[in-house]
Structure 1
Amino acid sequence: MYFPSTILTRLFLAVALTQSILALGLEAYVFVTVERDLDPTAVGITEGHTVPSYFSLFIFAFVYELVLVYDALKLSSMIQLVGLCIYNALLLMYAAVQPSSVKKALDLLARTFDMDVTPLLKPGRHTWERISPALTAVIVDQAVATAALFVLTYKLRSEFAWVVYKVLNADLSMRRRLLNFQIYMALIKFTFFFLVGFLVQIVSLIPDPRHDPELPLTVVGIFVALAVMCLGIYCAMTEKKAGTVVVIVAYVGAGIYLSYKLSVLYSDDNYPLITFNAVALAMVICNIVMAMVCMANFGKGLSTYTIPQKKLPQEDIHLHNTQTYMYGAGVRTSRLDLGD
């Protein structure tokens, strides 16, 4: 089992883990506090799902981020680390709009009455005043962690380096193909998050899940997204054209679905979800383009560097006598001479 062996990789993992624990703890406090102060009938309106929607998204986002961090460090993938920094910055933006969205929802719930008698938000609880510091703390936690991850990624470039230059030397065309492959691998993993993250929020907004056919369809969509991600990675690594075509068709279908949902959500003025939908749609389009680019490179020798090889013992990366092997979406290095 892999475990980070250098100070910087351990720091990167520690920052991501600390950020996730703090943010999820704060979000859990907000969720429990609001749910206790809401009348049970609040689930019947959209505003009653605002906090559960954020909470469910952040649970998935931070758990998945930890998986991607471990994967990126294990593969020594610089591109994936950069993607994680951007991913974290997007989560920071989402956390920044959370307070205004939650306050707007609570204000509306406080003015809405059940049977014209009981307000949906219990009066006298000072709900907003109790959760506001926690929501601010989430933003601070995200901002500090994002800045730290950017700095650590910048420093880690000297450890991970662009090993591809040492492996392929002056073969510019092969370097370009390998770079396209690594970008595609990272895009597949991040597209999965935005697709599933969007579907998770859709599920949390369903007023009556027991009688709404969209719930089982959305759950099936989550498993389909997972299958497409796995198929996409496997087919790109082994250069399977037929499988890659299936993946492209699946992403086209996802793009059509997201475009339809975007038009529906725009009329509802659900701007946080609209933003997430738009990002997911953009990621799907980028994935389609990069899948086509990578498929055009099949049969040109790239599989020599992308098909998993026998693992070598990891040595001190600052020693001379470079020994390098690549697998999956990243690079594993042992004995990397940074001065060459």
Structure 2
Amino acid sequence: MYRPTSRHEWLFCGALLAQAIIILALELFIISEWQMWVHSNITQVTISYVVPINLAIFVFTCVYELILAIDAVHHKNNLLLFAVCVSNVCILAFSAMQPTAMIEISRRLPNERDAERQPLVDIDVDFWKRVGPAQIACPIVFGICSFIIWPCAYRLHKEYAWAIYRSIHGDLSIKTRFLAYEIYLVLIKLDFYFITVFVIQYDLIDVHFEGPEFALTLALLPASFLMMVLAVWFVRKEWKIAMIPVIICHAAIIAYLISRIVVLYDDGRRANTADKDMMLLFAFAALILMAFTLICAVICVFNFNHGLREVLDEKSYKRDTHFEALSGWTDRSYSPEHRLSLE
């Protein structure tokens, strides 16, 4: 596993690691309190699985952001660095809305009854009083982490811009192709996140174990992961024939997302579901990103066999690092423009 090397890389990844650990601890506390508060008959209402699913999404987001951060510093991907920063701000906004929703749930559920007039929760327990501090702490943690990683991402951007410039030898045409390659990698990794979150919400909340749609929808998760891994490998090796089924898969996912959006906007049974707004949000985000991914994949295929593969070779990065060490470029505080002027 790759380990950060510079101080800013350690700070960037360390902040996200600390965030993931703290959020995991807070969410485990909240879900444990939830399980002790509700009764077994809570399964008669949709909220019984909406709350745990939303809590799981927070944990998955933190872990996935950490993985993307390590991947970004390993491959010196500037766009992925800032994508992680923007994602963290988005999850900060989402977490800031959760306390209000949890307050509403803690007020409404004690008044709910099942078919036998039995309460769904322990009415003697003030649920919000127990989980409120942990719920409020979540956006605070996301805010502190965002405050740390943005300056680090800026500093790493300056370092990586210089490393990339040296590896492409200042060739503007190669730089354009490399940018398209980086954009494609960022998009396909973000696609997997939004598709995963949408499938989890749609499959567990709306479809809710109804076959065969439940199994078919769930199969999208390993299929999307496999497609992401193969796409990254194929575009790096510049295999045109192998990229054709990848592009077809991009188009198929676009068609699937459009069909689910139509279903959710329809008047049918699938449209009457809890957390519908969140499903549509993630579905639209996945659809837009996947459309740009499809376009970018086609552009990358046209860029094959034009000198980019040599730049992407791991040995070229090693030669670049070795050259910097021999040339005395060990002070990374200089900007790429300053170093270029010194040449």
TM-score, length-scaled by structure 2:
0.86
Equivalent runs, 1:184-263 vs 2, <5 Å: 184-205=184-205, 209=209, 212-263=211-262
- Would you say the 8 A contact 1:46–1:205 is kept in 2? yes
Matched with 2:165 is 165
Q: Distance in 1 between matches of 2:169 and 2:313?
A: 19
Over 3 Å counting, the alpha-carbon distance change for 1:163 and 1:315 in structure 2 is closer
Instruction: Tell me how far 1:192 sits from its aligned partner.
Output: 1.1
The SS at the match of 1:247 is helix
Over 3 Å counting, the alpha-carbon distance change for 1:176 and 1:197 in structure 2 is same
Matched with 1:143 is 143
Matched with 1:276 is 282
- Would you say the 8 A contact 1:48–1:105 is kept in 2? no
Matched, 1:289 2:288: no
Q: Distance in 2 between matches of 1:301 and 1:110?
A: 66
The SS at the match of 1:2 is coil
Instruction: Tell me how far 1:99 sits from its aligned partner.
Output: 2.4
- Would you say the 8 A contact 1:56–1:201 is kept in 2? no
Instruction: Tell me how far 1:317 sits from its aligned partner.
Output: 9.8
- Would you say the 8 A contact 1:112–1:120 is kept in 2? yes
Instruction: Tell me how far 1:11 sits from its aligned partner.
Output: 0.8
- Would you say the 8 A contact 1:37–1:127 is kept in 2? yes
Instruction: Tell me how far 1:316 sits from its aligned partner.
Output: 9.0
Instruction: Tell me how far 1:149 sits from its aligned partner.
Output: 1.0
Instruction: Tell me how far 1:85 sits from its aligned partner.
Output: 0.7
Instruction: Tell me how far 1:320 sits from its aligned partner.
Output: 5.9
Q: What is the alpha-carbon root mean square deviation over aligned residues?
A: 2.7
Instruction: Tell me how far 1:142 sits from its aligned partner.
Output: 0.7
Matched with 2:315 is 309
| Count of matched residue pairs | 328
The SS at the match of 1:5 is coil
Matched with 2:50 is 50
Instruction: Tell me how far 1:265 sits from its aligned partner.
Output: 3.7
Instruction: Give deviations 1:297-337, integer Å, cap 9, x for gaps.
Output: 112221111244377399699756289xxxxxxxxx9xx98
Instruction: Tell me how far 1:295 sits from its aligned partner.
Output: 1.3
Over 3 Å counting, the alpha-carbon distance change for 1:122 and 1:206 in structure 2 is farther
- Would you say the 8 A contact 2:26–2:138 is kept in 1? yes
The SS at the match of 2:318 is coil
Matched with 2:69 is 69
Pick which of 69-78 and 219-228 moved more.
69-78
Identity of aligned residues (%): 26
Instruction: Give deviations 1:194-214, integer Å, cap 9, x for gaps.
Output: 1112222234426853x6433
Higher helix share: 2
The SS at the match of 1:113 is coil
Over 3 Å counting, the alpha-carbon distance change for 1:226 and 1:245 in structure 2 is same
- Would you say the 8 A contact 1:236–1:294 is kept in 2? yes
Gaps of 5+ in 1: 324-332
Instruction: Tell me how far 1:170 sits from its aligned partner.
Output: 4.3
Pick which of 226-235 and 313-322 moved more.
313-322
Higher strand share: 1
Instruction: Tell me how far 1:223 sits from its aligned partner.
Output: 0.5
Instruction: Tell me how far 1:113 sits from its aligned partner.
Output: 1.0
Instruction: Tell me how far 1:284 sits from its aligned partner.
Output: 1.0
The SS at the match of 1:339 is helix
Tell me which amino acid in the other structure corresponds to 1:283: L
Over 3 Å counting, the alpha-carbon distance change for 1:280 and 1:208 in structure 2 is closer
Instruction: Give deviations 1:68-123, integer Å, cap 9, x for gaps.
Output: 11111222222211111112122212212222333344444333211241122321
Tell me which amino acid in the other structure corresponds to 1:272: M
Instruction: Give deviations 1:236-291, integer Å, cap 9, x for gaps.
Output: 11112232221122122212222222234454462223222221122111211111
Q: Distance in 1 between matches of 2:56 and 2:211?
A: 19
Over 3 Å counting, the alpha-carbon distance change for 1:300 and 1:46 in structure 2 is same
Matched with 1:298 is 304
Q: Distance in 2 between matches of 1:52 and 1:120?
A: 16
TM-score, length-scaled by structure 1:
0.87
